[in-house]
Structure 1
Amino acid sequence: MTDGSTADPAGRVRPPAAARRTIRRERLHTLGFLAPFLVGFCAFFAYPLIATVYFSFTHYDQVNPPTFVGLRNWDYVLFQYPQFGTALANTLWLVVVMVTARVLFGLAIGMLITRVKTGLGTLRSLFYLPYLAPPVAATTAFVYLLNPGTGPVNQLLHRLGIPAPNWFNDPSWSKPALTLLALWGIGDLMVIFMAALLDVPTELYEAAQLDGAGAWAKFRHITLPTISPVVLFAAITGVISSMQYYTQAILAGSLASGIGASPGVLFEPGYPSGSTLTLPQLVYSLGFQHYNTGAACVVALLLFALAMAFTLLLLRRGSGFLTEEGR
């Protein structure tokens, strides 16, 4: 071979030495560009995940070295720890109810604002500003507004002659109150849906108008199919966020119980009566309050698997509703 190429024993032609050096140099350049991602992926995802799997099979109190206990932690969490079922039920409730309510409410507000002719900027700001409030400040203000005794909301309901709930102090109303808090900060979904709705071709509405289609027919056959990728995105990100729901629930429970952030006081998450206990709170309680890191890792892995299952289900089911433009 006159171009410097060689053949291996199997008869495959190898490129010349200069070409091999060029290919090696290009691969090194590519690896250099990928290095920040690879380092971050290994340090913040791969290693923590592997360590979590390892600790789930050990007894580890964060003081003494971990000792292997097999499936004992899994058996304890799944079959002996009663709070796991409560936290799982609450988390699933938030996934089904809160995510659905946020998507529907965000879509409704987005459609409302795209049709408003006057005061658009003011109305858009009123709905978006609560989203900018930090979660701790927003939750604190919301607990005050819904205080059963002195809150403005209950006082207004009493004046109107409407029975006022106990909100965060009532197990049957605590999760609906958290849902109202999530709807209060609907600004993120409002902006996303506004952008999607404004991107729907007006020609489709004009053609439907000529065919005599009503408002519901236009929404069902034009608006919804066109923005279906955005609806799917909102549902998936909502499921992931609800699976990580921690700050608002634990802060609302602690404030409603009267404990708040009192120093030196151990607060068991879930007030009232475990109704606000979520799986992320259970990870914190087991791992950092009771120093049972093995059981906390089991809950974390189950939470990870549950989030993956919901995401894959939504991706599989939602892809059937995507139009050719959204695929």
Structure 2
Amino acid sequence: METSSDCEAMDPDALQAAERFFDAAPPLSGESDVIAQLKAFVYKQNRSEKGRPIVCVTSGGTTVPLERRCVRFIDNFSAGNRGAASTEFFLKSGYAVIFLSRTGSVQPFCRDLPERPLLDCLETAPDGSLHARPQYEQTVLSALKAHSTVVADGTLLHLHFTTLFEYLQMLGLVGSLLEGFGKRAFFYLAAAVSDFYVPWETMHEHKIQSAGGPLAMELCNVPKMIPLLRRRWAPEAFVVSFKLETDMGMLMQKAKGALLKNGVHAVVANELHTRKDKVVIIEAAGETVLTRDSRDEDIEEKIVGHLTQRHRLYLKHGNGRERASDQAAPQSI
């Protein structure tokens, strides 16, 4: 059972801000197709003999348009490596994955390929046939085998976004459709979501002209959506959020605050310059430090391993936030 602190009503002002955001957002392009894909995927997983759990992995950064017919936008540095790597390890752990990722970001099984895989990895033979270059043959073969397996199993659904508006609308669709999965649903919110945006109703229709001199523009705070996910869309789901800062002291303070304020089950805290080598997972039971032991190791394997263990405990006991006695003691790994 959820605790009263987990299920308390969302702050009315925060709820109104979220509702205003969605009411004013532009229509989601291809929404009916997204819903159809989600319904078919969820139906397939529900019919799985294994009662397969399902995780929504969000990945990459969101853009903030400055014009409705967008020419300019605000972006962030996220390439989606963490989300793509984590998806691979979730699939290996027996999860079905909804991979909600930024268009053009890193995709599962493609992390070891060059940035231009079709141009750099392939070549034509004298007879006109196409094959992998010798130096990439094993990498391409491994990626194809892994991808073919999940396609055959039907355990991976790719959904793509570009803008902040698209991301949050699609997250809402996924959350609502996974409500029926109850505690078997898992949200792994690794996307780098913009903190500020230009409201659609105040946005310029056409390209902003530079002839008018310096540009002064006021950005609004993006409404907090994780409480909406926890309390409205999928209240029984296991939810993990991410926090990244450039200052370790501020990082830990904000990560602990997010755990309490948003009612999530864990927060993965990472400092910008060490994010590939070290993370701290903040939970009600305490803190767990995970480190990468070698250059050939993916720290995401440890993150996913730790969190899937916590999810199994949540499925068994019904509350991943409060039963600290049922969890392993916080540690460094």
Structure-1-length-normalised TM-score? 0.21
More contact order relative to length (CA 8 Å, sep ≥ 6): 1
* Higher Rg: 1
